[in-house]
Structure formats: C-alpha cells, structure tokens
Chains A and B, each alone.
Chain A
C-alpha cells in the first residue's frame, strides 16, 4: 500500500468536492490505493476486522457497540454517532476525518496502522448494513 498515494487521492477528492464525498467514494479510493477493484473487496473481511480486531482489551465494539446502527460511547462518556451510513448520513463523507480516526483507532485496537484494503473492506461492510 502506498500511503502517500492514498492521502493524495483522498485530498484530491476533498479538493474536488469537500461536501460531496460519499462512503462509496471513500471506499473506492481506499480500494484503488490497495490496487483492488471494488468487486474484489470483502464484506466478510470488513465485518471480521470490526468484530475481532486486535487481541487487546480494547476492541472496536468497546466503544462502537456490536451494532453499527447504534450510537456508541467513548470511555469519557461522549456519544459516538453510528458507524453505519444508513443510520448516520454524515458517516464517511469527510476523508480527512475518516483518515484521522482510522489512524488513531487502528493504532489503539490493532497496535498498527490499517491497510488501505482493510479500510476499504470495513467501509464496504458498513455500507451493506440497513
């Protein structure tokens, strides 16, 4: 994965239409960065990453809950808007925000950065949830 390429393509998206980004757009941007066609993405792998990511005590579900349609809660008590775009129209409409949280949360949960493929799969899965 070429991280610079991801960032470049994402910021190009941001420049083109800051307010018009969509989950589809972000998903395909990450897929391209991973050298994958959208059809090659795995919804199952995206779900598995969310449900079983990391071995530590901190999991995605610790804050986001098991159901991405529901609101989550941070350790300090702030509500987290749902991850599923069907439940939260603002989700994955801001590339910089998505990158910031992937960087933080992958580091916390997995102890490493997520690959572009993992990010694309995760968004692909979340997009299937109604």
Chain B
C-alpha cells in the first residue's frame, strides 16, 4: 500500500472513531441543552387545572420543596383562589414530585448546596436567582408589553415551551 493511501486511511479511521468515542463539539450552548431537559412528560390533569390560568410551568423549574409549599397554599395562590378537590391535588402533587428540578437531577439550577439552602423553597419561578440571571437583558418595559403582560407569561416569547423546552433559539419576543 502506498504511504499516501495509508495516511488517508489512518486519518479516516481516527476521524470515524473519534466521532463515536469522543464528545463531539456540540453546536448548541450548554444552557440550551439544559433548557431542553425542562420538557417534562405531560400530565393531562396538571395541564387542564394549572394550565387554565397560566402556562403549565414545567415542574423542573422549581425544586420539590417549592412545589410542596405551592400545593399547600392553593387557596391563596399569588392573590387568587386556586383551590382544587383533594383527589385532583394529590394527583398533581405526585406528578410535580416526580419531575421537580431535584428529581430530574437538575439541582444545578440552584447552584451549590449552600446556595440552594440559602434560597430555601422559592414560591415564584421569577424570583429565583437562576430566572433573573437568564432574563437579565429583558427590560421592565418589555415585560409590560400588551402581548407579554408579565414574566409569568412564558409562552409569549418561548412559544413552544411546554412541548419543546426553553431552547434559546426558539425565542421570539413580541413587539
């Protein structure tokens, strides 16, 4: 075999092997891959009950301790009565526990253990250090645009948030 041919073969084999064995550079940013993990399996009761008033926030956006607090206070849910029948609430609580941030191994969202302890059990997704960091470039006037209204309206910009996660490349901020 000619040396040139041998060289081409070696390069080819090395390339093929590296594609399989090595972590190939990903075109997507780290935060995007994390965001796609937020697309939890859907749950019809959760979608119907919680999704009637707001986007059915992916359970991975808060840790289990937060969901426990939220479900314990539905009669005064951010200024509104969102009481549920006990059986319905139990069903939703089980779903939230199974897919909360920590249940999904997404404790990274809350930083190191000490940071997580300091945050306690936040009730508002928008109040977390993580949320504020991800949205630090969004001006107050943008949040108040009629097509958005408030930071609670994820779907205004993250158009397919529930089904596809919060991929940064799929954001469109309405004027």
Taking Cβ atoms with an 8 Å cutoff, the residues of A that contact B are: 74-78, 100, 103-105, 107-108
Contact = CB atoms under 8 A, between A and B. Distances in A.
Contacts of A77: 54-55, 148-150, 152-153, 155-156
Contacts of B52: 74, 78
Instruction: Give the interface size class of chain B.
Output: 20 to 34
A103 B53 contact: no
Contacts, number: 44
Interface residues of A: mostly helix, strand, loop or mixed? helix
Contacts of B5: none
Interface of B: 51-55, 75, 79-85, 148-150, 152-153, 155-156
A107 B54 CA distance: 19
14 contacts: A74-B53, A76-B55, A76-B150, A77-B152, A77-B153, A77-B156, A78-B51, A78-B54, A100-B83, A100-B84, A104-B81, A104-B83, A107-B75, A108-B80
Contacts of B148: 77
Given A75-B79, A78-B51, A104-B82, 6 more contacts: A76-B54, A77-B149, A100-B83, A103-B83, A107-B81, A108-B81
B76 to A, nearest CB: 10
A26 B86 CA distance: 24
B57 to A, nearest CB: 10
Nearest to B151: A76
A105 B52 CA distance: 14
Contacts of B80: 75, 104, 108
B147 to A, nearest CB: 9
Nearest to A101: B52
B161 to A, nearest CB: 12
- Give 3 nearest A-B pairs by CB, closest first: A76-B54, A77-B153, A104-B81
A34 B79 CA distance: 30
